[in-house]
């Protein structure tokens, strides 16, 4: 590492050209690589946050030391006191023995990140972005979002007394838009796509001096999301799971999970990486389909899983690099499989996940169907958001029962 570490002991490193930038400055994409970015391809120049790992190791000889200090030596902020007062992360990991009426012959763990304050995984990124803004004098944070990142930013900012501006495509699900307004953020629906909202928010940042939370564009989004890896390692009693099934849209959550485990690898706390399975909908497979291709091609997304409906994955290049380096796997599932998985998950575990999260479970079911899961292995499914966030998505697979008169006879007729 050539640059001197700043007081927070971190630098930014471009995942494409390898240039390093001082952590003292607020920067987004690598200025050198991003100059030639176009709207038709995933951006180059996404930055990674790196630490002086030998120094971190000296200060924290084991995982428990890191945990006791809230992992502050692995975060790009000065103090954990800058983080929101809400409980972000520390979500439950449930181990289940059955899927429906069938016993599973491997260990299956469900990481329920719908238990975050705004009911999605995105709070992990928003919390870190909000803390950074607090420490660096930004009063307003702007984000473009299909819903979850925006509602997350709005809620986290409400808890910190910060102003949030959220730019969304106007067709985002009503529950997420309602959340944004209830949290007191300024909601800006645009007549256009997520990609257009994304570009507008970047222009707003440079025009008005607002801090930008856009996924991947702000390197702290990946960095905040990595905390789930530390939790998984802890909850699995200091072991690395064999496979982690992750729903993928922009590729930021999956990169965050890689980054968290890679930090632990660089600190010699773990000696192997998990196999991470990128799960996409067949109707929005722009990330996994392009991994082996030389030229990026877009097929317009139409999946009902709005959180992972992405045409240009913002963190494609980093995700591809991680997957190639650490033997990542990919699977696509149909929207019907996603809805089926959502229903099965709800009925048999009591966890009602939004379609994107159910996609990850559908990915696991597909692996299980193909006998690709070793007996005695540890498998984690990332449930990244609550089903209550998008009730419309499941409206087609449920039927509301008709009303009865409040008589026992009528009730009896329902149970012949």
Q: By CB under 5 A, tell whether 33 contacts Zn ion.
A: yes
Q: Does 112 bind Zn ion (CB under 5 A)?
A: no
46 binds Zn ion (CB under 5 A): no
Q: Is 186 exposed, middle or buried (0-12, 13-18, 19+ CB in 10 A)?
A: middle
Q: Which is nearer to Zn ion, 27 or 190 (CB)?
A: 27
β-pair partners for 93: 111
Buried/exposed code over 301-336 (b: 16+ C-beta within 10 A; e: otherwise): bebbbbbbbbebbbbbbbbbbbbeebebbbbbbebe
Q: Near Zn ion by CB under 5 A, which window of 45-53, 67-75, 127-135, 235-243?
A: 45-53
Contact between 156 and 123 under an 8 Å Cβ cutoff? The reply is: yes
10 Å CB burial of residue 295 (0-12, 13-18, 19+) is exposed
Q: How many CA atoms lie within 13 A of 56 on its CB side?
A: 26
Taking CB under 5 A as the rule, does residue 50 contact Zn ion? no
- Residue 296 CB burial class (10 angstroms; 0-12, 13-18, ≥19): middle
Q: Contacting Zn ion (CB under 5 A), which of 1, 4, 17, 238? A: 17
The one segment of 32-40, 74-82, 111-119, 286-294 that binds Zn ion by CB under 5 A? 32-40
**Selected binder of Zn ion within 43, 45, 224, 355 (CB under 5 A):** 45
Q: Which stretch binds Zn ion (CB under 5 A): 8-16, 97-105, 138-146, 207-215?
A: 8-16
Cα gap 286→93, rounded to integer Å: 30
By CB under 5 A, what part of segment 282-311 binds Zn ion?
Answer: none
d(CA 392, CA 67): 40
Binding mask 113-132 for Zn ion (x = CB under 5 A): --------------------
Asked if 16 is part of the footprint of Zn ion (rule: CB under 5 A), the reply reads yes
Q: 31 or 327, CB closer to Zn ion?
A: 31
- Of 16-24, 150-158, 261-269, 328-336, the segment contacting Zn ion by CB under 5 A is 16-24
Rule CB under 5 A: which residues touch Zn ion? 14, 16-17, 19, 30, 32-33, 45
């Amino acid at each position: 590492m050539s640059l001197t570490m700043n007081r927070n002991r971190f630098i930014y490193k471009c995942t494409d050209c390898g240039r390093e930038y001082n952590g003292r400055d607020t920067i987004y994409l690598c200025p050198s690589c991003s100059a030639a970015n176009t709207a038709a391809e995933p951006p180059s120049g996404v930055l990674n946050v790196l630490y002086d790992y030998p120094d971190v190791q000296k200060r924290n000889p084991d995982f428990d030391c890191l945990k006791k200090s809230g992992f502050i030596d692995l975060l790009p902020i000065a103090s954990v006191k800058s983080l929101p007062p809400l409980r972000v992360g520390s979500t439950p990991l449930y181990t289940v023995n059955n899927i429906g009426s069938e016993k599973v012959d491997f260990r299956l763990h469900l990481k329920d990140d719908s238990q975050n304050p705004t009911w999605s995984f995105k709070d992990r990124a928003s919390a870190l972005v909000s803390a950074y803004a607090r420490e660096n004098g930004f009063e307003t944070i702007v984000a473009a979002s299909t819903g979850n990142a925006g509602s997350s930013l709005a809620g986290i900012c409400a808890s910190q007394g910060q102003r949030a501006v959220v730019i969304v495509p106007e067709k985002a699900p009503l529950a997420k838009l309602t959340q944004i307004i209830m949290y007191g953020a300024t909601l800006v629906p645009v007549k256009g796509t997520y990609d257009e909202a994304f570009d507008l928010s970047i222009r707003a940042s440079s025009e008005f001096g607002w801090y930008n939370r856009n996924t991947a564009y702000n390197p702290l989004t990946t960095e905040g999301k990595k905390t789930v890896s530390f939790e998984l390692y802890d909850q699995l009693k200091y072991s690395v799971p064999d496979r982690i099934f992750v729903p993928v849209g922009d590729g930021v959550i999956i990169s965050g999970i890689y980054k968290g485990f890679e930090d632990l690898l660089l600190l010699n706390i773990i000696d192997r990486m998990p196999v991470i399975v990128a799960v996409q909908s067949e109707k929005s497979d722009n990330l996994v389909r392009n991994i082996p291709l030389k030229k990026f091609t877009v097929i317009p997304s139409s999946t009902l899983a709005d959180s992972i409906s992405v045409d240009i994955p913002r963190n494609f290049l980093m995700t591809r690099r991680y997957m190639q380096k650490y033997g990542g796997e990919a699977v696509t599932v149909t929207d019907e499989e996603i809805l089926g998985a959502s229903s099965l998950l709800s009925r048999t575990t009591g966890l009602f996940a939004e379609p994107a999260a159910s996609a990850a479970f559908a990915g696991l079911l597909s692996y299980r169907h193909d006998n690709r899961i070793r007996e005695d292995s540890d498998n984690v499914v990332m449930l990244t958001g609550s089903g209550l966030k998008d009730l419309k998505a499941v409206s087609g697979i449920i039927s509301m029962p008709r009303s009865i008169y409040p008589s026992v006879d009528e009730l009896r007729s329902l149970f012949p």
